[in-house]
């Protein structure tokens, strides 16, 4: 068998150029998964030889990457807000822009020392809720999802980061099974308009129920906002990730349900409207 070095693979990043905005980084992450090493080790050891098993794993994975399959589904994990999460095709792959929601949530949570009851509606992999509980010791979290498979992954991620004792996982739609009293409600719900899905590569790989927001993309957001007045405690807050074109519509929905609330729109690092904050 021809000897393959780590550096040989890294120098071949152009094979992913048509499918990835970060081909070099993708190869680094893939090599780290194949070798069982950290990405820093991969970069520091271009002379390292891959054994037969590692070469076979790499040869099996590269065509899948070239076909557009998310890297996280190949490696089985994704880093989010400094933590590593188990990921599978049963859940949406966490995006960097969702870290904006976590940043705003933690900033608000750290203003309070008392125990806070929080909810993560449509938790998926648990990346939002688990991260909040990990960084905020005063949080007790309820995480819901309609997918049993997603909840199993979220539970394993909570166990992985040793916060399972402060998280309750419940299968169900949004927060309809719960009464009032949530100090904070977070949600990254499906918000892509149904007609747009066919044009998006992401819909070929990631779960439809985690993407499809109905005719206008607001079906699930509308349900949660309409239910919010009974869910949020006095002085409670809701944080909702949105599609960039939805800020005005979601703000109007929020103001209808909370006429006296403060509704703010936050932009992500790319300058796109990404987050709605409703402060009761």
Strand ranges across the sheet with 139-145: 167-171, 139-145, 116-121, 182-187, 232-241, 273-279, 262-267
For domain 90-279, say whether CATH 3.90.550.10 is its number. no
Query: Percent helix, strand and coil across the chain, each rounded to 5?
Result: 45, 20, 35
127-136 as b/e, with b when 16 or more CB fall inside 10 Å? bbbbbbbbbb
Does residue 244 register a pLDDT over 80?
Answer: yes
- Mean pLDDT computed over every residue of the chain: 94
- pLDDT tens for residues 140-193? 999 999 999 999 999 999 999 999 999 999 999 999 888 778 999 999 999 999
**Which residues neighbour 57 within 8 Å (Cβ) at sequence distance 6 or greater?**
34
Instruction: State the Cα–Cα distance between residues 11 and 46, nearest whole angstrom.
Output: 10
- pLDDT tens for residues 53-99? 999 999 999 999 988 899 999 999 999 999 999 999 999 999 999 99
**E-assigned strand segments in the chain:** 77-80, 83-86, 116-121, 139-145, 167-171, 182-187, 232-241, 262-267, 273-279
CA-wise closest residue to 104 among 253, 216, 267: 267
Instruction: State the Cα–Cα distance between residues 253 and 189, nearest whole angstrom.
Output: 15
* Measured CA angle at 62 (ends 58, 64), to 5 deg: 125
Contact status, residue 219 vs residue 213, Cβ threshold 8 Å: yes
- pLDDT tens for residues 125-144? 999 999 999 999 999 999 99
Q: What confidence score (pLDDT) does residue 81 get? A: 97
CA-wise closest residue to 279 among 136, 105, 133: 105
- pLDDT tens for residues 188-243? 999 999 999 988 888 899 999 999 999 999 999 999 999 999 999 999 999 999 99
Q: What is the mean pLDDT of residues 45-60?
A: 94
Q: What confidence score (pLDDT) does residue 203 get? A: 87
Contact status, residue 126 vs residue 120, Cβ threshold 8 Å: yes
Partners of 279 in the β-ladder: 237, 262
The pLDDT confidence band at residue 2, using thresholds 50, 70 and 90, is: confident
Q: Which CATH class is domain 6-68?
A: mainly alpha
DSSP secondary structure string for all residues of 175-211:
TTT--S-EEEEEE----B-HHHHTT-GGGGTS-GGGT
Instruction: State the Cα–Cα distance between residues 134 and 264, nearest whole angstrom.
Output: 26
Residue-range domain boundaries for the chain: 6-68, 90-279
Instruction: State the Cα–Cα distance between residues 136 and 119, nearest whole angstrom.
Output: 14
Provide, rounded to the nearest whole percent, the portion of the chain with pLDDT above 90: 87
Does residue 1 register a pLDDT over 70?
Answer: no
């Amino acid at each position: 068998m021809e000897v393959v070095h780590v550096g040989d693979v890294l120098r071949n990043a152009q094979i992913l150029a048509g499918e990835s905005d970060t081909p070099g980084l993708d190869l680094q992450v893939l090599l780290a998964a194949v070798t069982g090493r950290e990405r820093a080790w991969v970069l520091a050891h271009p002379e390292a030889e891959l054994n037969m098993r590692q070469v076979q794993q790499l040869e099996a994975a590269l065509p899948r990457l070239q076909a557009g399959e998310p890297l996280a589904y190949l490696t089985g994990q994704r880093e989010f807000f400094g933590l590593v999460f188990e990921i599978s095709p049963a859940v949406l792959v966490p995006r960097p822009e969702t870290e904006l929601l976590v940043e705003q949530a933690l900033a608000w949570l750290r203003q309070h020392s008392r125990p806070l009851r929080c909810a993560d509606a449509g938790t998926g992999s648990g990346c939002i809720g688990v991260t909040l509980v990990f960084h905020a010791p005063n949080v007790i979290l309820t995480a819901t999802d309609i997918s049993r498979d997603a909840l199993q992954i979220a539970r394993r991620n909570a166990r992985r980061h040793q916060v399972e004792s402060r998280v309750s996982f419940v299968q169900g739609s949004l927060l309809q099974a719960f009464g009032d009293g949530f100090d904070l409600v977070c949600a990254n719900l499906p918000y892509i308009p149904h007609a747009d899905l066919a044009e998006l590569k992401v819909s070929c790989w990631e779960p439809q129920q985690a993407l499809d927001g109905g005719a206008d993309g607001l079906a699930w957001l509308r349900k949660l906002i309409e239910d919010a007045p009974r869910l949020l405690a006095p002085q409670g807050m809701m944080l909702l990730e949105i599609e960039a074109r939805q800020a005005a519509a979601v703000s109007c929905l929020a103001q209808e349900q909370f006429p006296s609330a403060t509704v703010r729109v936050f932009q992500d690092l790319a300058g796109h409207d990404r987050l709605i904050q409703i402060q009761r």
